[in-house]
Amino acid sequence: MTVALASLAEAMKAPAPWFLPYLPVAQRVLAAPSSSSVADALNAAVGDDLTGLRFVEQAALPEGESYEAFIFRTGCVPTRDNLHDLFNGLMWLAYPKAKRRLNVLQADEIKQRGGANGTRGPLRDALTLFDENAAILQAPAALIEALRARQWTVLFEEQRAQWQSARLRIFGHALLEKLQQPRKAITAHVWVIADLTDEALASSLVSERLAAKDFLPLPVLGVPGWWPDNATPGFYDDADVFRPLRR
């Protein structure tokens, strides 16, 4: 078993709240033979809904071809034996339609603007940000309003009970990797949607909204139930983390 797969297995022994939605997928990956590479373990977990998708070794990516264009052209995801790429694979397995939608938009931008030598533009920047650091949130209107206004006391203390009706999922694989070593300042780019299904998320990924960077910053360890320290007095008084809205 690779170091990355061993780290995932260890995390699954006592999964943190942000891992819970991905337990079934992680268990499928970990059921692969112990000698598997990360790519092999992910391929063993591919279901019928991912027909045409394969995880391949990083060496399969031709020199000079962009990562996103290669995935679009071949249906193959270059994958290294590390935790970052393992978490990326978990997101492909959990949200295949959304990941494919992101890839289609990336490939279209690369075609229009050029690959390595082209300009990225606001849409490609937003797509990468989403892929790496997004969290998706379905929540009561009162929570969304408080988050938009950066009213942290309202969001996390006065409206604390409302979080029982909210659903927050980590989507960005780099964000999931950061949370392997939790620290207070870890902040997600939150994408608000009405339904957390793969289909609904994919439908919400509209170029105009993405290019406008319609994200809300959320220090995720402030979410009730996600980190024991946030139940202590004064946790949300840290203005370096829970910053007021800029006017």
Contact criterion met (CB below 8 Å) for 113 and 120 = yes
What pLDDT band is residue 117 in, cutting at 50, 70 and 90? Answer: low
Dihedral over Cα of 82, 93, 29, 10: its sign:
positive
- Percent of the chain scoring above 70 in pLDDT: 98
The DSSP result for 57-86, as a single string, is: EGGGS-TTS-HHHHHHHHSEEEE-SSHHHH
For 162-179, the pLDDT digits (tens) are 999 999 999 999 999 999
* pLDDT exceeds cutoff 60 at 116: no
Contact criterion met (CB below 8 Å) for 29 and 89 = yes
* pLDDT exceeds cutoff 80 at 35: no
Among residues 64, 66, 67, the alpha carbon closest in space to that of 79 is found at: 67
* pLDDT exceeds cutoff 90 at 49: no
Which H or E run contains 208? helix 207-211
What is the arithmetic mean of pLDDT over 219-231? 97
Q: What is the pLDDT of residue 50?
A: 75
Residue holding tokens 């606001």? Answer: 122
